[in-house]
Structure formats: structure tokens, C-alpha cells
Amino acid sequence: MSNIAEKVVIITGASSGIGEATALLLARQGAKVVLGARRSERLEQLVAQIRQQGGTAEFRSLDVSSREDVQAFVDFTLARFGRLDVLINNAGVMPLSPLAALKFAEWDRMIDVNIRGVLHGIGAALPVMQRQRSGHVINVASLGAYRVVPTAAVYCATKAAVVSISEGLRQEVGGDIRVTVVSPGVVESELAESISDSATRAMMEEFRQVSIPASAIAETIAFAIGQPPQVDVSELIVRPTASAY
């Protein structure tokens, strides 16, 4: 993947799941990765692992719901490496519940992380990429963006927003900057652990029996990055072969 080697890649939500798997894969392929998440102790361990394997990695504690924090994350990357080639907006939360449960705080959290977090990433990275006249924004959405199920109305709405934001961005910046939206189906991750509604949590544990590893999504992201500069892989849905959804 010569188109990945030496690229500077920042990844939000990098402490576990898709973010962690993507960091490991891209670093092995020669990218310089900068990792952000709230759990800085896990990021420190991941960076140490990457460096032990001969890769280049840095980390910074990051809350994507804070615009100032995301801007500082991008500024940190520029100070360390002098450029930014790929932004992977991966951070997300999924505290599912029926709308009638009226979990306003959880609704707000999904909007803040899943939508505002993506916009904060774009807002911080886009001016850099426009100055460079090159760059790649990769937004991780979900199969839920295309199929709504009970208990997931707000979550699905946030991920549908990510798809719309990605397409709007692609149309606006086409020519120099690539935009990709990756929508995973059920992936082995800690995402469902944020579900506080007991009935929904039990249902989701059963639903997630059919899943694919986070490394499958990492491979998908690497595929999109690895294409020639004039090729934009705009939208990818990746799901378990056995999944009915």
C-alpha cells in the first residue's frame, strides 16, 4: 500500500474497536498515526505497541464533543508532523433505548459525539487540507444510517446525518480532497456497553452474536486510503455475511 506509507493519519475513538484496529493496521503499512480518545491510558499502551512493532505513533487525550479539544488535537498533529493527510472520524456512542424511556441525556450524548464530533473534526482538519490542496476525510457511520429498528431511532438518525454530511462535504471539496463514509454492520466492539436500558441491552447482546472483527473495517478503511489520489471511494457498507440486516 504505497499510497498509505508516510501519510499522517489522525483517528478519533482510537482506544478500542475499529479505531484501535485501524491504528495498528495503518501503522504496519507505514502511516504515521496520531490517536485520540478519552481513555488516554489505553492510548498510551496502544502507542507503545505500535512503536515496539516499528511504527510511528503519537496520542492525545480527546473529547470530540469539545470543538476546542478537537482543534488542539489537529494542532498537536501539525506541530509533530507538519501536515495532515487523513482524518478518520471514528468516535461514536450507542446508548440505545425506546423513545418512550425519555433518556434525554443519552440522546444529547449521541448528538454531541456522533454528529457534532464529526463536524468538529471536519472543522479542524478541512482548512489544513485546503491549504495543502490534498487530504482525505473518512467518516465512520453505521448500517443504522440506512435501516432503522426499534430502540435505535436517535442513534440511526445521528448516523444518517453522518452520511448526509459526508456527501455534502464530498460535493463541496471534490478535486483536491477525498471523502469516504464507511458504514459497518455489527462489529465486535465495546459500543453496546453504553446501553443503560436493561431490556435493550439484553436484546442487543443477542443481536450481536453475528458479527465481524474490527479488523475487517480497518481493512476497508485502508482500502479507501490506498487508492490513487484521483480515486475517491465514496461510500462503503460492510456487514457480516450471515447478517439479515
Q: According to the model, what pLDDT value does residue 245 have?
A: 73
- Asked whether the whole model's pTM tops 0.85, one would answer yes
Query: Which strand ranges, in their side-by-side order, compose the sheet holding 8-12?
Result: 56-61, 32-37, 8-12, 86-89, 135-140, 177-184, 235-238
Q: According to the model, what pLDDT value does residue 188 have?
A: 79
Which pLDDT tens digit goes with each residue over 92-143?
999 999 999 999 999 999 999 999 999 999 999 999 999 999 999 999 999 9
Q: Does position 208 have pLDDT exceeding 70, yes or no?
A: no
Ranges of each domain in the chain:
8-230
Sole residue written with cell 457498507: 237
Q: Does position 213 have pLDDT exceeding 80, yes or no?
A: yes
Which pLDDT tens digit goes with each residue over 40-85?
999 999 999 999 999 999 999 999 999 999 999 999 999 999 999 9
Q: Does position 219 have pLDDT exceeding 70, yes or no?
A: yes
- For residue 203, what pLDDT band results from cuts at 50, 70 and 90? low
Which cell numbers hold the place of 236?
462503503
User: Residue 222: how many CB atoms within 10 A of its CB?
Assistant: 18
Q: How far is the C-alpha of 81 from the C-alpha of 86, rounded, in Å?
A: 13
The superfamily CATH assigns to domain 8-230 is: NAD(P)-binding Rossmann-like Domain (3.40.50.720)
Q: According to the model, what pLDDT value does residue 174 have?
A: 81
Q: According to the model, what pLDDT value does residue 1 have?
A: 46
Q: Which residues are catalytic?
A: 155
Which pLDDT tens digit goes with each residue over 144-186?
999 999 999 999 999 999 999 999 999 999 889 999 999 999 8
